[in-house]
Homo-oligomer: A and B are copies of this chain.
């Protein structure tokens, strides 16, 4: 090893002697014996080819070279202390960045609340939320750009194996109708009733739309026969459209809590049909997990998870 001419311990000893004015006192405050101190200083002097202390008199006095070295010594040790503090802060979540990925729905309605809770507990950790498609989010988690993400759609097969996918919550996609719609006060609709409705939907590329289409098809409905009034690319826009009486839609319940409370939208169930999807937590097990990420997973997510979620019971 192409050696450095000194060690941090030697610098610490140097500093202590300079402060105490004595090898013995320095040894005492460093909790070592006096010879240990003597030897280390001798090594230091040998390696730097200088004399550091004048051991003549009552006190150990710094020579010119010693004074020079002490200046650097103090700077170096201060930097070390700072480094330690910074690392401690990072460990105790007083710093760092947590990057969270989410799809449109969770990113808009779920994440803000979660992140709010997290930031309340750990205000010094900055959190970044990236809302992307399921596919892109998956890739970002895979290559470490995102620490953890919640997705509602299906991952491409290769990613599915690479990443850790944990069922997190069930998101109901409820059929919602304008408050004044003739069918909106019925207790339960029949599947066939859907053909009578005009739909306002997300555009056909969106994950949520795909999920809904698939579920309806799987339940035996002919989705070609469903009348689509218009396709919009924003849940908020759809909500407004529904509230304005333009049509019906399948929307995540998390996105319409306020409207249901206000009664401006009605949610109607359908016989023999549950439009639900699994929200899944994805992480990259082969990558470094930051403390912030761990804490978010362990402490924040479970509070918002549905009862069946493994996160409720399992230590992750």
Q: A69-B83, A76-B83 in contact; A54/B90 too (CB < 8 A)?
A: no
| One of A1-9, A101-109, A190-198 contacting the partner | A1-9
Contact assessment for A87 and B65 in the assembled complex, using a CB-CB cutoff below 8 Å: yes
A63–B97 CA distance with the chains assembled, in angstroms: 11
Contact assessment for B72 and A290 in the assembled complex, using a CB-CB cutoff below 8 Å: no
25 sample A-B contacts, Cβ–Cβ < 8 Å, listed by A number: A1-B32, A2-B31, A4-B80, A5-B84, A6-B8, A6-B80, A7-B9, A8-B8, A50-B87, A50-B90, A50-B91, A51-B288, A54-B287, A61-B144, A64-B96, A64-B288, A64-B290, A68-B87, A68-B95, A72-B80, A72-B83, A73-B83, A76-B76, A76-B80, A76-B83
> In the complex, what's the smallest C-beta–C-beta distance from A29 to chain B, in angstroms?
9
> In the complex, what's the smallest C-beta–C-beta distance from A78 to chain B, in angstroms?
9
Chain A contact residues, CB within 8 Å of chain B: 1-2, 4-9, 12, 30-32, 48-51, 54, 56, 61, 63-65, 68-69, 72-73, 75-76, 79-80, 82-84, 86-87, 90-91, 95-97, 144, 286-290
Contact assessment for B288 and A54 in the assembled complex, using a CB-CB cutoff below 8 Å: yes
Contact assessment for A290 and B76 in the assembled complex, using a CB-CB cutoff below 8 Å: no
Q: A2-B30, A290-B63 in contact; A82/B91 too (CB < 8 A)?
A: no
> In the complex, what's the smallest C-beta–C-beta distance from A132 to chain B, in angstroms?
21
Contact assessment for B75 and A90 in the assembled complex, using a CB-CB cutoff below 8 Å: no
> In the complex, what's the smallest C-beta–C-beta distance from A283 to chain B, in angstroms?
13
A79–B73 CA distance with the chains assembled, in angstroms: 9
A45–B249 CA distance with the chains assembled, in angstroms: 53
Question: Using Cβ atoms and an 8 Å threshold, which residues of chain B touch A72?
Answer: 79-80, 82-83, 86
Contact assessment for A87 and B31 in the assembled complex, using a CB-CB cutoff below 8 Å: no
A256–B144 CA distance with the chains assembled, in angstroms: 85
